């Protein structure tokens, strides 16, 4: 029996080791994004533990210090729910501590809580991310009483945004530190924001803030404004005055025979970014259009029902979304390796919208939109 005791103890130790190594463990530094209310100053407290670079989402690392610096980062991620096309004022109210505590606050247009690290590249005409401050507070003056150093930013959410979450990443250099933030709507006036005082400053971002899905992300719930159906206008014939009695008959100049010409494309107004005021074209037509960098083209058409087909030609890397009249996204194509897009779907009769953009908003060029079989009239977008 005595010989068995060491053997049993060995089994217990080995079992304990196996249990320890195979038991599931919560990811160190696991992060989520808390939704904050509008028009409320909220205190953000630094976590007690720094992020673990091996377990946090890879995209979070772009908000951290360089790994070679061996500096710990204490991060929090929050978000505000916003509406495309609306203007907001972001408040960064940083209490001025006596120690050299630093904080960096980033506003981001796409989720940082992902391992997808693809760079969108250039995005002319839009703001995607910026840092509100990158230093410790202003030095305290003698006998100065300061509740906080206030930084304000006026931003307008782009109407082309694909979702309604404005993410905020806060990076502290010490545990236990805190800051205060608020997103205000309606926004403060631009003049008030840019006016600086002893402990206040601000800026107005002229480029709209674009909120975009990461590549491959599911269709969002953000819906474009539903356009009011446009009633066709009927031209009223001009009134004519009958000739007076006794008057000589009017001399008419014989018309010159018309020389046959090549039919010119009909002109359709420039396609806007949303369904509100979208360019109206008939089904089974072609539209010669031009997509600008960072812009959307939206066309409206009446569909008779059956199998719908919408496609593009032009060898451009463009993406298209199909919407119904109620603002429901029905299909998307163009986010794969091929260029141009093709959407085919069985749908009932009704009003539909096709919304087109360049992949990652990074290019521009001409393309042809083909609705149905394209056997009808040819249209040309008014402005290029």
For 297, the token pair is: 């083209």
Q: What are the residue boundaries of the structural domains of the chain, listed by start?
A: 28-204, 266-381
pLDDT score, position 25: 32
pLDDT tens for the chain, residues 1 to 384: 445 444 444 443 444 343 333 333 333 335 788 999 999 999 999 999 998 988 888 888 888 887 766 788 999 999 999 998 899 999 998 876 656 678 889 999 988 988 876 655 555 678 888 888 766 666 667 776 667 788 999 999 998 888 899 999 999 888 988 889 999 999 999 999 998 887 788 999 988 998 988 765 554 444 443 433 433 333 333 333 444 455 444 454 555 545 444 456 677 667 776 777 788 888 999 999 888 877 788 899 999 889 999 999 988 888 899 999 888 889 988 866 678 899 999 999 989 999 998 887 667 889 999 999 988 888 888 765
- What 3 state SS string does the chain have? CCCHHHHHHHHHHHHHHHHHHHCCCCCCCCCCEEECCCCCCEEEECCCCCCCCCCCCHHHHHHCCCHHHCCCCEEEEEEEECCCCCEEEEEEEECCCCCCCCEEEEEECCCCCCCCCCCCCCCCCCECEEEEECCCCCCCCCCCCCCCEEEEEEEEECCCCCCCEEEEEEEECCCCCEEEEEEECCCCCHHHHHCCECCEEEEECCCCECCCCCCCCCCCCCCCCCCCCCCCCCCCCCCCCCCCCCCCCCCCCCCCCCCCCCCCCEEECCCCCCCCCCEECCCCCEEEEEECCCCEEEEEEEECCEEEEEEEECCCCEEEEEEECCCCEEEEECCCCCCCCEEEEEECCEEEEEEEEEHHHCCCEEEEEEECCCCCCEEEECCC
pLDDT score, position 108: 92
pLDDT score, position 329: 87
Are domains 28-204 and 266-381 of this chain identical in fold?
Answer: yes
pLDDT score, position 47: 92
pLDDT score, position 243: 43
pLDDT score, position 186: 93
pLDDT score, position 68: 67
pLDDT score, position 119: 55
pLDDT score, position 286: 92
Q: Which CATH class is domain 266-381?
A: mainly beta
For 31, the token pair is: 């992060």
pTM over 0.85: no
CATH assignment, 28-204: 2.60.120.380
């Amino acid at each position: 029996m005595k010989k068995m005791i060491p053997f049993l103890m060995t089994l217990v130790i080995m079992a304990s080791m196996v249990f320890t190594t195979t038991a599931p463990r919560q990811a160190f530094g696991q992060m989520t994004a808390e939704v904050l209310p509008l028009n409320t100053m909220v205190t953000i407290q630094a976590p007690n533990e720094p992020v673990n670079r091996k377990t946090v989402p890879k995209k979070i690392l772009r908000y951290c210090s360089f790994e070679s610096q061996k500096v710990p980062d204490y991060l929090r991620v929050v978000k505000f729910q916003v509406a495309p096309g609306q203007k907001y004022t972001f408040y960064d109210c940083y209490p001025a501590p006596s120690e050299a505590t630093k904080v960096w606050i980033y506003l981001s247009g796409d989720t940082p809580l992902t391992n997808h690290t693809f760079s969108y590249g250039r995005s002319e005409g839009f703001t995607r991310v910026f840092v509100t401050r990158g230093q410790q507070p202003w030095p305290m003056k003698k006998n100065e009483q300061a509740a906080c150093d206030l930084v304000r930013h006026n931003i307008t959410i782009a109407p082309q945004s694909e979702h309604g979450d404005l993410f905020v990443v806060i990076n502290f250099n010490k545990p236990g530190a805190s800051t205060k933030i608020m997103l205000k709507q309606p926004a403060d006036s631009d003049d008030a924001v840019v006016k600086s005082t002893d402990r206040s400053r601000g800026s107005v971002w002229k480029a709209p803030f674009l909120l975009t899905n990461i590549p491959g992300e599911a269709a969002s719930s953000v819906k474009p404004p539903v356009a009011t159906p446009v009633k066709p206008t009927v031209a009223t014939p001009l009134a004519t005055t009958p000739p007076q009695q006794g008057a000589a008959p009017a001399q008419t100049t014989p018309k010159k025979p018309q020389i046959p010409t090549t039919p010119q494309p009909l002109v359709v107004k420039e396609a806007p970014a949303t369904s509100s005021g979208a360019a109206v074209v008939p089904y089974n037509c072609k539209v010669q259009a031009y997509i600008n960098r960072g812009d959307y083209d939206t066309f409206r058409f009446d569909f008779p029902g059956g199998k719908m087909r919408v496609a593009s030609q032009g060898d451009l890397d463009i993406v298209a979304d199909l919407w119904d009249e109620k603002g429901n996204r029905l299909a998307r194509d163009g986010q794969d390796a091929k260029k141009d897009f093709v959407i085919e779907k069985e749908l009932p009769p009704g009003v539909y919208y096709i919304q087109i953009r360049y992949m990652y908003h990074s290019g521009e060029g001409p393309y042809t939109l083909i609705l149905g079989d394209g056997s009808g009239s040819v249209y040309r977008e008014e402005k290029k």
